[in-house]
Amino acid sequence: MLQIYTGDGKGKTTAALGLALRACGHGRKVIMIQFMKGDIEYGEVKIASKIPGFELHQFGLPTFVEKGNPAAEDLRLAKEGFDFACEIISKGEYDVVILDELNCAIDYGLIYLEDVLELLDRVPKEMEIIITGRNARPKLTERADLVSEIKEIKHPFQKGILAREGIDY
Ligand code: ATP
Ligand code: MG
């Protein structure tokens, strides 16, 4: 099945990580491929190798991507991540494949929607695919079996509180 976690509220990546934990508990093999992220300080990056059955790979710079004007390195890393995702999906060795922030990578022009749709055509029958990130394209949500939109009602950021270790990263 294809699941999409989108919306402007907090909890998309953490929902995917929660599902990963649950799947690993049942002995499933899970891989999370993160786009537009490249920072070892994330708690999930630090713990990944200690969770049996879980793997995490990052393809991005620690800096923000400029919308409409991505750096050459941002584009290169996104392409590398997408090629890696294609290889992982076609090999069919994982039960759950999480494409974290793929919606954003499409939205920021790093990855073509058409290439993602084509990749989804090739997903092995038993594999679960999770795509996270804001601004999921309608063509993807139409295709999905499950779509959750997390809506921001309140966030401490509005009070000037920045990302907190262990909570936001
Ligand atoms: P998380 O990784 O905490 O589950 P997310 O995946 O839903 O969040 P993203 O859109 O990927 O959110 O944003 C990444 C960063 O921005 C995270 O540090 C996250 O906690 C924070 N964030 C998410 N939603 C908001 C918001 N509405 N306002 C401010 N910061 C937010
Ligand atoms: Mg996220």
> Per the domain annotation, does 167 fall within a domain?
no
> Per the domain annotation, does 85 fall within a domain?
yes
Does the C-beta of 103 come closer than 6 Å to ligand 1? no
Phi, psi angle pair for 143, to nearest 5°: -75, -25
| Shortest-distance atom of ligand 1 to CA 15 | 4
Residue written as token pair 């090739």:
122
In this structure, which residue's CA is closest to atom 2 in ligand 1?
13
Alpha carbons within 13 A on the beta-carbon side of 109: 8
> Per the domain annotation, does 166 fall within a domain?
no
Classify 96 as helix, strand or coil. strand
Sheet holding 54-59, edge to edge: 54-59, 30-35, 96-100, 128-132, 2-6, 146-149
Sign of the torsion formed by the C-alpha atoms of 86, 33, 3 and 144: negative
Work out how many domains the chain is built from and give that number. Answer: 1
pTM of the full structure: 0.96
Does the C-beta of 152 come closer than 6 Å to ligand 1? yes
- The tokens of 16 are what? 């995917």
Whether residue 28 contacts residue 55, with contact meaning beta carbons closer than 8 Å, is answered with: no
Tens-digit pLDDT profile for the chain (169 aa)? 999 999 999 999 999 999 999 999 999 999 999 999 998 899 999 999 999 999 999 999 999 999 989 999 999 999 999 999 999 999 999 999 999 999 999 999 999 999 999 999 999 999 999 999 999 999 999 999 999 999 999 999 999 999 999 999 9
- Structural domain that includes position 100: 2-159
> Per the domain annotation, does 45 fall within a domain?
yes
In this structure, which residue's CA is closest to atom 18 in ligand 1?
168
Note residues around ion ligand 2 (Cβ under 5 angstroms): 12-13
Domain containing residue 32: CATH number: 3.40.50.300
Count of all residues that appear for the chain in the document:
169
Does the C-beta of 134 come closer than 6 Å to ligand 1? yes
Pocket test for ligand 1, best of 10, 12, 21, 164 (most atoms within 8 A of CB): 10
The CB density around residue 85, as the number of other CB atoms within 10 Å, is 23
